Structure 1
């Protein structure tokens, strides 16, 4: 088990981010659009990089610290339903949102399983801003259940959940 408490993504060069992707080809990794704020972001509050490709809104990316480096996962985002009548919870940060603010993200599995078309999917914050939600820096679109965890415990829980998802991609 990886100890997640206190881990943050360190400022990471674009080339290292591109090399970190485990479920796409090197050519695909070279072509993907990196976050626009990569050089200006607040790295002290960056638990993982998660972004939607502004040129292809169904493409999303997740990069997180693991084993002394970073690992990246390519995701495919399904368009969330337009309904605001129901709510759903993010599998990573457990923030409750109206249904339209939670999306299904699907990742091809790494290696031969992914080349055969096997995928792993989960419902997460449609904007991939989980770090901001667990720190209460961004307001969710639905009322939240009462919780007794502090920020560090919520961050650790979120990173554990993300790592479980990445483990399924790597299996």
Structure 2
């Protein structure tokens, strides 16, 4: 992902008002972000843990999506898989995130939801910079293919929000 200033991030949100975008909490450490190792920005608002945000490159632009996080189940006995990066976690580390659809559909209350890493650290998991909470199935593909697969999955989700 290319370096993206705060103002561009705020303007990128497609499923909230301009006023809401101006008020949202940006991720900590944005100025020191390792953009070369960032496929997308995903963060949970530390002041309102049910608010989360996703910003990713789409063509020459960045697109931002406001998400509402559902509290994950507290079971450590079951496992769940992230729909973006396909990392397996204990069930409590995967959460349901719902995004209002963009435009009139969103104003009517239509949403799109998916189960993803509760910390939205998919980029770190596919690069093996962060250790998941459950054993992983064996894969025969490399990191580049894992990253590409994750980006396809995220873009499919965003396309549903935009559609």
What TM-score does the superposition give when structure 1 sets the normalisation length? 0.95
Inter-partner Cα distance in structure 1 for 2:5 and 2:138: 39
Alpha-carbon RMSD across the aligned residues, in angstroms, is: 0.4
Residue of structure 2 in register with 1:54 after alignment: 46
Inter-partner Cα distance in structure 2 for 1:37 and 1:62: 16
The answer on 1:96 being equivalent to 2:88 is: yes
SS of the residue 2:31 aligns to: coil
Q: Which structure 2 residue ranges, 5 or more long, are not aligned?
A: none
The answer on 1:155 being equivalent to 2:130 is: no
Residue of structure 1 in register with 2:10 after alignment: 18
Inter-partner Cα distance in structure 1 for 2:62 and 2:33: 17
Residue deviations 1:97-154 (CA, integer Å, cap 9, x gap)? 0000000000000000000000000000000000000000000000000001101000
Q: 2:57 aligns with which of 47, 65, 80?
A: 65
The answer on 1:166 being equivalent to 2:158 is: yes
Q: 2:113 aligns with which of 105, 117, 121?
A: 121
Q: Which structure 1 residue ranges, 5 or more long, are not aligned?
A: 1-8
Runs of 4+ in structure 1 deviating by more than 4 angstroms, as ranges, are: none
Inter-partner Cα distance in structure 2 for 1:80 and 1:11: 31
The answer on 1:133 being equivalent to 2:125 is: yes
State the 1:76 CA deviation: 0.2
Inter-partner Cα distance in structure 2 for 1:67 and 1:47: 13
Residue of structure 2 in register with 1:143 after alignment: 135
Residue deviations 1:8-41 (CA, integer Å, cap 9, x gap)? x211011100000000000000000001110011
Inter-partner Cα distance in structure 2 for 1:136 and 1:18: 29
Equivalences, count: 163
Inter-partner Cα distance in structure 2 for 1:23 and 1:42: 26
